[in-house]
A = this chain, B = another copy of it.
Amino acid sequence: MLLTVNHGPIRELRLNRPPANALSFELIHALREEIEKAPKDSARAIVLSGSPGRFSGGLDVPLLLGYDHAAMSQLWREFYALLKTMSCSSIPIAAAITGHAPAGGTVLASFCDWRVVADGTFIIGLNEVQVGLPLPPVIFAGLRRLLGPRDAERLAVGGLLISPAEALRVGLIDEIAPPDQVIDRAMQWCQSMLALPHDAMTITRAEARADLKSYFDQNLDPEIEKVTASWWAPETQATLHAVAAKLGKKTAGLSS
């Protein structure tokens, strides 16, 4: 469900959980482990990519609707741990957003160092509210860091999905590239990082990302508990079941 491709010192982690690279506990866990493992294997940068046309569809709603409270709690703990790992990574991570990246797909990208999106009619954004899920505060904090308070409020509260062009305009992404060049561009960005004096880059990068990292200095247990609890709220369950039913009809077995 997660392919590892080495390109010299750059390690590509390719989401590979068909059909939509939707996030299960196992994929979130694998991603966290691989990001932590990369620098230990002497990788000096990471490209996080997806399938052509699909970066990640976010949480695997149909699958997760079958989780019990313990499993959901474990999933959110792991997701927070993944975001912490990304925020604290000692090596740069570029998101090669190869296609659709709603909800969790955008979350993963927004905790990377840099983002390039495939040109096309792809959707990006945090549509959690649209599917009945209050946006977890850590995710809002990551969004606000990129967009500023005004656009972050507008997009998050409205649960808006936007185009690559609009995402570039508001600062949710850094670049748009032709679909067949999006991974190459992420790779080139990593190479530009590796071409810099290593220590100067690394120390400055730590300073520039200290605000993101500091979010994880607080005790996040109460936040994670609240986020987990919100999954079982009647409105959320009703909306998610409707979403899952629609997905089921459209793709006949999305979460297989």
Chain A: residues with CB nearer than 8 A to chain B?
A: 92, 113-114, 128-135, 137, 140, 144-154, 156-159, 171, 174, 192-193, 196-201, 203-205, 207-209, 211, 230, 233, 235-236, 239
Contacts and interface: CB of A to CB of B under 8 A. Distances in A.
B137 A145 contact: no
A197 B204 CA distance: 42
Given A140-B208, A146-B150, A230-B203, A197 B156 contact: no
How many copies of this chain sit in the oligomeric assembly?
A: 3
Contact of A134 (B132, B135, B199, B233): B199
Given A149-B146, A150-B171, A157 B201 contact: yes
A154 B174 contact: yes
A130 B195 CA distance: 9
A153 B189 CA distance: 14
A135 B84 CA distance: 24
Enumerate the 3 nearest inter-chain pairs by beta-carbon distance, A residue then B residue, closest first: A134-B203, A153-B208, A132-B197
Nearest to A158: B192
A230 B204 CA distance: 12
B239 A137 contact: no
Contact of A200 (B129, B137, B140, B211): B129
A-side interface mostly: helix
Contacts of A154: 114, 174
Given A203-B134, A204-B135, A236 B197 contact: yes
Nearest to A205: B157
Nearest to A143: B208
Contacts of A92: 157
Contacts of A146: 149-150
A235 B198 contact: yes
A145 B149 contact: yes
B200 A128 contact: yes
A236 B129 contact: no
A186 to B, nearest CB: 14
A199 B113 contact: no
Nearest to A152: B208
Nearest to A201: B129
A199 B156 contact: no
Contacts of A132: 197, 199-200
Contact of A153 (B113, B135, B148, B230): B113
